[in-house]
Structure 1
Amino acid sequence: MKLTVFFNGQFWVGVVENQIGSNLTACQHLFGTEPKDNEVLDFVCHKMMDLIAENRQGVETCPNVVRQRINPKRLARQAAREIHRKGISTLAQEAIKLETEARKKERKTQSKESLEELKEYKYSLKRQKAKKKHRGR
């Protein structure tokens, strides 16, 4: 699990990438103004797990290769590069995009169903009105 906090030009955004096997899921949280350390800690402790649990869509990645022990100096250089790297990975962007598309489809089907129910209700009212009108003849 990896949390990346960065400034996207307008807001501070936190992107959580969770890789289980070869499946990568990602979700983002909008912080707004620059988050303080305690705000990030609060997000990690309380909100992050709920945000990850909501995700259903994921992206297939190549399986992680078991690595041998890494030299500490090399590890420090990699960590420094990771800190200076700006933005989120393209796989995370793709996972977020898939999740938003899935939610969009779900919302669309729900709104279509509610519209159909409303049409049926209006039609039934119309039929009742017409029957009531011609009742005495």
Structure 2
Amino acid sequence: MIQRFDGNRLSVCKVTFGAEPTDAEIYAFLLKHFNDLQFTKPIKAEEKKRADSPKRRMRNAKKMLDQKGVGTKSQQALKKQYEESKAERKAVSKEKREEDARRLFELKQKKKKEKHRGH
């Protein structure tokens, strides 16, 4: 997972390598392909303040997990991008399905007219 910070904005990209790559291989990959990577839309990355006591940290961590769900900001950004693309695919497929239904209806109407017309 590649994270890119622009000021206080975070965008991520997921790249799958075959075997565990070395640091040199990752660096060479980034130098060669960084401009071709598809990053998510940037989200606001806020700096976390450090709590005083360990008990307070535990309470805050539990509260944050309950509110935001499990995962890092990068994972949440990827999930958000996935949900957006899923909604877009759903809308496109619905539109296509309605277009096909309309076309079939018009075809049936045309056939019905042809039958009543006579020869």
Counterpart for residue 47 of structure 1: 33
* Aligned positions, number: 96
Counterpart for residue 14 of structure 2: 28
The 1:135–1:100 alpha-carbon spacing in structure 2 relative to 1, beyond 3 Å, is same
Report which of the two has the higher share of strand: 1
Q: After TM superposition, give the deviation of residue 60 of structure 1 in Å.
A: 1.2
- Unpaired runs of 5+ residues, structure 2, are 48-70
- Two-structure CA RMSD over aligned residues (Å): 2.4
Q: Identity rate of aligned residues, in percent?
A: 35
Q: Distance in 1 between matches of 2:110 and 2:17?
A: 53
Q: Secondary structure of the residue that 1:26 maps to in structure 2?
A: strand
Given that 2:43 and 2:77 are in contact with CA atoms closer than 8 Å, whether structure 1 keeps it comes out as yes
Structure with greater contact order relative to length (CA < 8 Å, sep ≥ 6): 2
TM-score calculated relative to the size of structure 1: 0.59
TM-score calculated relative to the size of structure 2: 0.67
The 1:20–1:37 alpha-carbon spacing in structure 2 relative to 1, beyond 3 Å, is closer
Tell me whether 1:60 sits opposite 2:60 in the alignment.
Answer: no
Q: Secondary structure of the residue that 2:15 maps to in structure 1?
A: strand
Q: Encode CA deviations 1:56-105: one digit per residue, 9 max, x unaligned.
A: 53321126xxxxxxxxxxxxxxxxxxxxxxxxx71111111111111111
- Unpaired runs of 5+ residues, structure 1, are 1-14, 64-88
